[in-house]
Structure 1
Amino acid sequence: MNTQTGRPVNDVSCVDIAGLFARVGLTSFGGGLSAWLYREVVTQRGWLDEGEFLSAMTLGQILPGSNVVNLSVYVGYRMCGVPGSVVAVVALLVPPMIVIVLVTSVFSAWIQGSAVHAFLEGVAAAAVGMTASVGVRSARIATDARRWPLALIVAVFVAVGLLRWPLVPVAVAAGTAGVLLSRRTAPDA
């Protein structure tokens, strides 16, 4: 959507969205989808700027459901409205689902092998690295203007990652703290 008019961007078609999201869905593994979408949507195509993408990713993480599906809904909507959202989600999910069903039905005995598990562990490690890169980029942008978000990032990491506290109460507490700190440190209007 155009930020001034609230209407979908006219130069991106639903076919463009379908092609991108189908390719991302078919060529990505695990948690690296957000990083891949960042590269495609921000860096290569310029559909969204970095700040808007990271805000959409944050929104996708706090809403129920899969982060990347929520992000796909947002990107599709920004480009082509409701039809763009539907196309983005369907193109992201259906082609890989078909491939997985076909592959598992053909290679069901072979998939139990140790080489396949080792390969998938390597892919999982790569996905973690890609996700971490988006997290570092988000942290850099969040801490550019102010330093207090870094304290919240560290606190959430310690609470959830090390102490294993439940994510929802930690996210609510961090969100509340963010609002209060933002109001406290905001310049007087």
Structure 2
Amino acid sequence: MEPDLRAPSRRDLFAGFFSIGLTGFGGVLPQAHRMMVLRRRWLSEADFAVVLGLGQVLPGPNIVNVAVAVGSRFHGASGALAAIAGLLLAPMVIVLLLASFYGHYRQLALVQNVLHGLASAAAGLIAAMGLRLLERIERKLWCVLVAALTFCALGVLQLPLLWSLALLAPVAVGLAWRDRPKEGA
């Protein structure tokens, strides 16, 4: 670990992920990045990118996978449980309350407009985090081409995610394997 990074206690894990769960709506990964890397300095940019990559590969919500990975990194299973409990407690209570209110007021145009605005804000936060991470990655032509193909397949052509991954993941792994540093060279 880098010298300026700080290992959180279980209480810190709970409180940090509670703050993410309390303030996040939709895309919480930008808030997680800000909390863990920029404010509390639990992880470096590179460590966050690795944890995020792991979270995206594993089944389930990315932020839950990130919470498990970060919690277990510092305190094993009890750290993972503290991070998950912090992450999920506030949203669970909020969602139950909102569901009750939404059941009564869903037909109002104001309610529909607020939900559209929140979705736009979440998309902007995710785009900002992606641009910040983009500054840190290696710039190789094959990486850019795979990213562009993925964007075209999913965003433009709207192909199914499973089929796109089934085709593009082996291509990316093969290119990375071919581009790896050779032993003894």
> What TM-score bracket applies, with the shorter chain setting the length?
0.7 to 0.9
Q: Structure 1 residue 152 and structure 2 residue 146: aligned?
A: yes
RMSD: 2.2
1:117-136 → structure 2 map (5 Å cutoff): 117-136=112-131
1:163 to 149, 157, 165: 157
Give the superposition deviation at 1:42.
Answer: 0.7
Code of the residue aligned with 1:18 in structure 2: it is F
Q: Structure 1 residue 100 and structure 2 residue 95: aligned?
A: yes
Using the alignment, how far apart are the partners of 2:163 and 2:133 within structure 1?
21
Gaps in structure 2 of 5+ consecutive residues: none
Code of the residue aligned with 2:135 in structure 1: it is R
Using the alignment, how far apart are the partners of 1:185 and 1:162 within structure 2?
28
Give the superposition deviation at 1:107.
Answer: 6.3
Which residue of 2 is the match for residue 14 of structure 1?
10
Q: Which moved more, 1:46-55 or 1:177-186?
A: 177-186
Q: 1:112 to 1:20 in 2, by over 3 A?
A: farther
Q: Structure 1 residue 109 and structure 2 residue 104: aligned?
A: yes
> How many percent identity over aligned positions?
33
User: Which string of whole-angstrom CA distances, capped at 9 and with x for unpartnered residues, describes residues 32-83 of structure 1?
Assistant: x111000000111111111111121122112111111111111111122111
Q: What is the number of equivalent residue pairs in this alignment? A: 181
Q: Say whether the 8 Å CA contact 1:25–1:92 is kept in structure 2.
A: yes
Q: Say whether the 8 Å CA contact 1:104–1:111 is kept in structure 2.
A: no
Which residue of 2 is the match for residue 178 of structure 1?
172
User: Which string of whole-angstrom CA distances, capped at 9 and with x for unpartnered residues, describes residues 60-111 of structure 1?
Assistant: 1121111111111111111221111111112111222112213433564234
Give the superposition deviation at 1:19.
Answer: 0.7
Gaps in structure 1 of 5+ consecutive residues: 4-8
Q: 1:164 to 1:48 in 2, by over 3 A?
A: same
Using the alignment, how far apart are the partners of 1:129 and 1:72 within structure 2?
22
Q: 1:170 to 1:140 in 2, by over 3 A?
A: farther
Q: Say whether the 8 Å CA contact 1:10–1:79 is kept in structure 2.
A: no
Q: Say whether the 8 Å CA contact 1:143–1:150 is kept in structure 2.
A: no
Which residue of 2 is the match for residue 85 of structure 1?
80
Taking structure 2 as the reference length, what is the TM-score of the superposition? Answer: 0.87
Using the alignment, how far apart are the partners of 1:124 and 1:107 within structure 2?
16
Which residue of 2 is the match for residue 61 of structure 1?
56
Which residue of 2 is the match for residue 6 of structure 1?
none
- Extract structure 1 runs of 4+ deviating beyond 6 A: none
